[in-house]
Amino acid sequence: MPDSTTGPDRTPHVPVLLDRCVELLTPALTRRSPDGSGAVLVDATLGAGGHAERFLTDLPGLRLVGLDRDPSALAIAGERLAPFSDRVRLVRTRYDGYWDDRSEGAIDGVLFDLGVSSMQLDRVERGFSYSHDAPLDMRMDPDAPLTAADIVNTYDVKALARVLRDYGDERFASRIAAEIGRRRARNPLRTTGELVEVLYASIPAATRRTGGHPGKRTFQALRTAVNGELDSLRDALPASLDALAVGGRVVVMAYQSLEDKIVKTVFTAATASRSPEGLPVELPGYEPEFASLTRGAEKAPQTEIDMNPRSASVRLRALEKVVGREVS
């Protein structure tokens, strides 16, 4: 979830599809008042607060709940959003940990900007990047017990191959896992640089020349497994839909196919008729609870990709809750 902070290289990080998110969510946030008074927006993946800042600036009556498991992100976002502090509540939690115990009642808008943030990628010591040597960590929550080093060094070879294949769609998963097994038998793998060496040794040269950096899929797989990202998403999405008031909207931006597949599955079910199959007409009261606001998954325009290359893989989907009971 690239964001508009400035990293160690002083390169601005621009929030992805910011104007489109504003366009999609504002109608739900201004149903009661043009300034957003009475509305609540949950930014489920706060990051550095780039999207949140825009909504709070545009809508001076809006209340915002920002969720993030990373205390560094919350500290940076808290500083950034300090001018709006009377309208902001920051919660340290995974985005599936908020919905059951929320104090805000019905929600008018939800924004998910999935994946690793630019801040985390740029913090070399966090171990998310294959471009810099760092400890094999990859935890979004630095207090979480499981690290990438734990997976690489303790999972049996078959389980490790399954992680790489299922979470990274890595076609050389078995070869990589076997090579990791041989290397760690001599010395545990401790750094991203050591892992990259394994990947160069495992992936054929012809594939390396044409398939991008050999670490891309393995690092994605390990990060996803370390942080339980797919399980969190499977739990959080339906819960967020249940929390929406009628007329509320949810926007999800995914950056990998596994995430987008989950979003598509949940959204397809939410927009399906609830009438028994085979009936020629829609039964009253069984209409779809949600309506899609996008035609499939939207991509970033080329102009945005040119300005912000990290937006190239984004897939955006959005729904509006059109029928159902009001959430108290």
What is the spatial distance between Cα 113 and Cα 319, in angstroms, rounded to a whole number?
A: 15
Q: Which two tokens stand for residue 44?
A: 């489920």
Residue 203's nearest CA partner among 229, 223, 177, 230 is 177
Q: Residues near 153 by Cβ (< 8 Å), separated by ≥ 6?
A: 184, 188, 189
113 assigned ligand-binding residue: yes
Return the structure tokens found at 315.
Answer: 């897939």
Strands 290-292 and 315-321, by their bridges, are: antiparallel
323: left (phi > 0), else alpha (psi -120 to 50), else beta?
A: beta
**Cα 29 from Cα 260, distance rounded (Å):** 25
Q: What is the largest CA-CA distance in the chain?
A: 67
Asked if residue 50 belongs to a known ligand binding site, the reply is yes
Determine whether the annotation assigns residue 130 to a binding site: no
Coil, helix or strand for 220? helix
| Residue 51 labeled ligand binder | yes
Neighbouring CB atoms inside 10 A of 274's CB total 12
HEC string of 162-194 equals: HHHHHHHCCCCHHHHHHHHHHHHHHCCCCEHHH
List of long-range contacts for 76-80, beta carbons under 8 Å, 24+ apart: 76/5, 76/48, 76/49, 76/119, 77/46, 77/47, 77/48, 77/49, 77/52, 80/5, 80/48, 80/49, 80/53
DSSP label of 215: T
Residue ranges at the known binding site for S-adenosyl-L-methionine: 49-51, 68, 95, 113, 120
Residue ranges at the known binding site: 49-51, 68, 95, 113, 120
